[in-house]
Amino acid sequence: MRLVSQMRRIGVCLIVVGSLASMPVALATPSISVDVKSGRVIAHEDAFQRWYPASLTKIMTAYLAFSAVKSGQMSMDTPITMSVHASKEPPSKMYFKPGERFPLDSALKYLMVKSANDVAVAIAEAVSGSEEAFVREMNATARAIGMQATRFVNPNGLPGSGQYTTAHDMAVLAVAARRNFPEYAQYFGYEGFAIGKQTHTNYNLLIGRFQGADGMKTGYICASGFNQVSSATRNGKTVVSVVLGAPSQTARAEKSAELLNAALTSSVSGSATTLASLAPYGEGRDVVADISAQICSAKARAARDKNRDENGKLVLGSPYLVELAREPRLVRAPAMPKQAGTEIALSRIPVPLPRPTGVLSGSAVPVTASAFVAPAQAAEMSPLRPGVTIPVPVPRPEL
């Protein structure tokens, strides 16, 4: 009888363990909020969990474009040409035909507001001569500013093997962008743009709805869920927040608003943890999370539809977000007139000029690895392997 009893207990335990193993994993949402001036971390959760960046990648693409302008390699009027290679990128995109041109100023608006994947590649080719060369520069820059666990494989964030980041690293990038390029901060905060008769509004629901919101970028693929890097300024204080893996567009906006409001109203002194002193933590953090099953299931899509009213408008439930009671403020983002009778290279467009690396010119104080990581950590960062294979991306809409 005693043996039978023990066998029954073992059987019950096996059933319980089996049930737990089959349960769906809880939807994680790594996050962090930081004061830009001091680098002080106000709040964080799973900040070192590797995650797919999706279109948050485009912050780095813009960062390198700003660097090229600041060094004198380019100007905001420099023509960007759409190549055959760039034009083949899947949506979200501007659908320019090969050979069509637009100034860098317009390209950055297409990139940050519309999240145009084709334009991201066109910018990469203009800055570095090819997408592959640009990706190498992206990764070198990431290491230089202290992004400890990030690897880029393309300039737009479309699905690609070996691409990952963390909430911590995205905060490092956001702070570096705000500190090093304050003169270009407006590109992260446009409500929308007009090109011809077309208008496009920003996917960032905080802009115009959260007091002081002034950027930065959203991103979405099935594997990552809904990501967002946000910034806001009140009374001269600028803070940034990062939210990864939210279940919907509204959820990432509401979480971002909550983090930003807490950071803006925080009174914690400068002795608190900073981006530099925050040590990596979290079991299994080096495995890139993939939440496709939770984000792109029929059930998840149906749940997101419930966030809209009868007119299809998103319903926001945060006390920190208000309805936009006016039309979005649009800026002009014209393309350039077509060149009649001029033959344009229809493949890669090598146009880069030599420019200094490392310390940036201008009055802004450059952010280096020492600002975010200890020297020992910086020394351990492995160099980028030459030759990056860019996988063919699967088309996915940007939200």
Structure tokens at 36: 């830009």
Rounded Cα gap, residues 235 and 366, in angstroms: 24
Decide: residue 66, CB within 10 A, 0-12 exposed, 13-18 middle, 19+ buried. Answer: buried
List 31, 33, 58, 106, catalytic entry: 58
Rounded Cα gap, residues 60 and 172, in angstroms: 11
Could you tell me whether strands 225-234 and 237-246 are parallel, antiparallel, or unpaired per DSSP bridges? antiparallel
Active-site residue, 224 included:
no
Active-site residue, 22 included:
no
Rounded Cα gap, residues 119 and 88, in angstroms: 11
Convert 38-54 to b/e letters by CB count within 10 Å (16 or more is b): ebbbbbbebbbbbbbbb
Nearest to 228 by CA among 157, 153, 328, 145: 157
Nearest to 67 by CA among 145, 9, 121, 1: 145
List 33, 87, 106, 115, catalytic entry: 115
Please state the φ and ψ torsions of residue 178, each to the nearest 5 degrees. -70, -40
List 33, 55, 231, 256, catalytic entry: 55
* C-alpha triplet 233, 250, 198: angle, nearest 5°: 80
DSSP string, 201-227: E-S-TTTTTSTTEEEEEEEEETTTEEE
335 contacts 101 by C-beta, under 8 angstroms: yes
Active-site residue, 115 included:
yes
Q: Widest CA span of the chain, in angstroms?
A: 95
Nearest to 159 by CA among 89, 75, 207, 229: 89
Rounded Cα gap, residues 102 and 349, in angstroms: 14
Residues carrying an active site annotation: 55, 58, 115
